[in-house]
Chain A
C-alpha cells in the first residue's frame, strides 16, 4: 500500500470516528451551562422569618429603621465585615452584578443591606467606601453589640465572634448566608456562600413574586399564621439538636429526618460554626466495642423516619469556627441527593438532654 493511498483511506475514517465524539463534547459543554429545572436555588427555611424590629445607624449617620425603611422592598440582608478576605466581598460582588441586571423597576424595589459585625474597624466612612466598590446603592449599617446580636438572634443566625489571630490582630467569624426578604416582609430563603450569579439571577425575580405565591407554595401576606402550604415537602427535618461541646472538642448534631417521597441520601451538612463537617456512623466490632466511622452519605429511605442519634448515624462538626452555648440556635443546611438543600436551625442543648430526647430511638416506619 502506498503512503498516498493510505492517506486517502485514513482521512475519512479518522474523521468519521471523531466527529460524533466532538459533537458529544460540544453537547456536554452546552449541558454544563444549562439551568437545572429546580424551582429555587436558595436554601429554604423550615419556616418563614419576619423582619426584626431593629433600628441601626447608616453610613450617613442617620437612624435606619430596618423594618420601615425596607417595607415593600426585596431586601437582601448580610452580616459581615470589610476586612473579610473572602466570603463578604465575593458574596456582595456577585449580588451587585446580578442586581444590575434587574429591570429598572426591580432595582428600585431592591435593597441590599450590609450590617457590620466589626464596628471597631468598620467606621461609617470606611464602610461606605468599601460598599461603593460593589454598588453605591448598597446600605451599610452599624450599631452597638447588643442591638446587632439581637438582630442576629431574631434571624436565627449564629452570633458573630471575634477570633484572635497571630500578631495580635483578630478576625471575625460570622454567618455567611444572605437572607432574602420578599416584598411581603418575609424571608423564606437564605443564600449561603457558594451561591452563584446564575442562582441569584434565577431566584431574584421569583423572590419578588413571593408576595403572592412563591415556589415553595407559600402565600406571603405577611402573617405567619396564614401561611398556606400548597405543595407537600418531600423531606422534613425536625428535632435538630446540638449538644454544647467542651472547649476544643468537636461538635455533634442530631436530627430526625422525615422522608415523605422517594429514597434519598443525606450528602452533607453545612454550618458556619464548623470548618469541616463529616457524616459518621457507629459500628460494633466483633469484640463488642463501638467504633465511629466516617460515611460518604446517610441513606434516607422513603416513608420512614431516619434518626441521627447517639450510637447511630450522626453529624460531626470538626474544626469549630465559633462557640455556641446552651439555649442558642445555630443555622445549618442539610444537602440531600434528590431533595436538594434544606436550611434548618439547630437548638443547642446540654448533653443531658441528648440522652432524653434528641433522638427517638430506632428508625421507624412513618405513618400518615
Chain B
C-alpha cells in the first residue's frame, strides 16, 4: 500500500503508472499562481501584453507540472532523466517564461532591481551553486527520502531560476546585449558540464536512481546517459531560444519612443 505524501520523495517501492495525489504540490502551485497574479497586476505593461501574460502563466503551469505526478516522483526516486527534466523545466523553461510579461523599462514596478552587475553576478553564482549542490550524490541520495528536503530543493530551483533570469529582464539588469549573452553563457557552463559528466560517465552516480525499482526496463546506466543528453542537448537550445525571445522583447522596448532601456 502506497503511503500518501504531501511532497514527492523517494519511497523505494515499485513504480506504477497509477496517479498519486501530492497535496503540498497543489498548495505550492496555488500559492505561486496567486503571488504571480498579484505581481502581474502591479505591472502596467503586463496588461498590454496578453500573449506574454499567457506565456507567464504557462510558466507557472510548467512549475506545477514538473513538481506533480508523474515527473515529480519519478525525478526524486526513480529516474535521473526525470530529475534532469524537472530541473530543466523549472530553471530553464518555467522561470524565463514567467519573466516574459514584464518589461525591462525602468517604470515597470514589477521588475524590481538590485545593484546591476553585482546582483547579476550574485544571482549567477547562486544559480550555479544551487545547480551543483542539488546534483551532488550526497544531496540527491541523502535527501531524496525526505519530503521536506525535496520541497526545499525544488523551491531552491525555482528561486535560483527566478533570480538567474532577472538580470536579463529586470529594470536594473545587465545593460548590454553582449553582456547578457556572456552572463547566460557563463551562468549555464556548469549545467553543460554536468550534462557532459552524466553523458560520459561509465557508472551511475546516484544510489537512489541506480537501486530504484526499474521503470519500463530502463537500465540505470542508460537512464543517466539520457539525463546527460537531456541536460546537454535540450538545455542548450532552450537557453538560446530564451535569449532570442528576450532580445526581441528588449529590441521592441528600445524601439518604443521616449524609452530608455538600461
Contacts and interface: CB of A to CB of B under 8 A. Distances in A.
Interface of A: 3, 6-7, 10-11, 14-15, 18, 21-22, 25-26, 28-29, 32-33, 85-86, 89-90, 93-94, 96-97, 101, 133, 193-194, 196-198, 201
Nearest to B194: A29
Interface string B217-249: 101110000000000000000000000000000
Contacts of B211: 90, 193-194, 196
B132 A93 contact: no
B183 to A, nearest CB: 13
A7 B115 contact: yes
Contacts, number: 79
B12 interface: yes
Contacts of A18: 125
A311 B158 CA distance: 53
Contacts of A26: 132
B121 interface: yes
A3 B115 contact: yes
Contacts of B219: 93, 96-97
A134 B138 CA distance: 29
B210 interface: yes
B213 A89 contact: yes
A115 to B, nearest CB: 21
Contacts of B217: 89, 133
Given A32-B138, A33-B205, A94 B220 contact: yes
B73 interface: no
Interface in B177-213: 202-205, 207, 210-213
Given A93-B214, A193-B211, A198-B203, A15 B220 contact: no
B213 A90 contact: yes
B203 A196 contact: yes
Given A7-B117, A97-B219, A196 B210 contact: yes
B213 A86 contact: yes
In this complex, which of B12, B13, B210 has the most chain A Cβ atoms within 10 angstroms of its Cβ? B210
Given A3-B116, A11-B118, A14-B121, A197 B220 contact: yes
Given A14-B118, A196-B211, A197-B221, A29 B202 contact: no
A197 B210 contact: yes
B136 A29 contact: yes
Interface residues of B, number: 31
Nearest to B205: A33
B220 A97 contact: yes
22 contacts: A3-B116, A7-B116, A11-B121, A14-B118, A14-B122, A18-B125, A22-B129, A32-B138, A32-B205, A85-B14, A85-B213, A86-B13, A86-B14, A90-B212, A93-B220, A94-B220, A97-B219, A133-B217, A196-B203, A196-B204, A196-B207, A196-B210
B21 interface: no
A93 B203 CA distance: 12
Contacts of B204: 196-197
B44 interface: no
Nearest to B140: A32
Interface of B: 12-14, 115-118, 121-122, 125, 128-129, 132-133, 136-138, 202-205, 207, 210-214, 217, 219-221
Given A29-B132, A97-B219, A197-B221, A10 B207 contact: no
Contacts of B137: 32-33
B37 to A, nearest CB: 32
Contacts of A85: 13-14, 213
Contacts of A6: 115, 118
Nearest to A15: B121
Nearest to A25: B132
Given A86-B14, A194-B211, A197-B220, A7 B125 contact: no
In this complex, which of A29, A89, A101, A133 has the most chain B Cβ atoms within 10 angstroms of its Cβ? A29
Contacts of A96: 219
Contacts of A201: 202-203
Contacts of B133: 25
A94 B210 contact: yes
The 6 closest A-B pairs by CB, nearest first: A85-B14, A86-B213, A198-B203, A197-B203, A32-B137, A10-B118
Nearest to A18: B125
Contacts of B136: 28-29, 32
Given A85-B213, A89-B213, 9 more contacts: A10-B115, A22-B128, A86-B14, A90-B212, A90-B213, A97-B221, A194-B211, A197-B210, A198-B203
A38 to B, nearest CB: 16
A26 B207 CA distance: 20
Contacts of A25: 129, 132-133
A367 B138 CA distance: 42
Nearest to A90: B211
A304 B85 CA distance: 53
A292 to B, nearest CB: 27
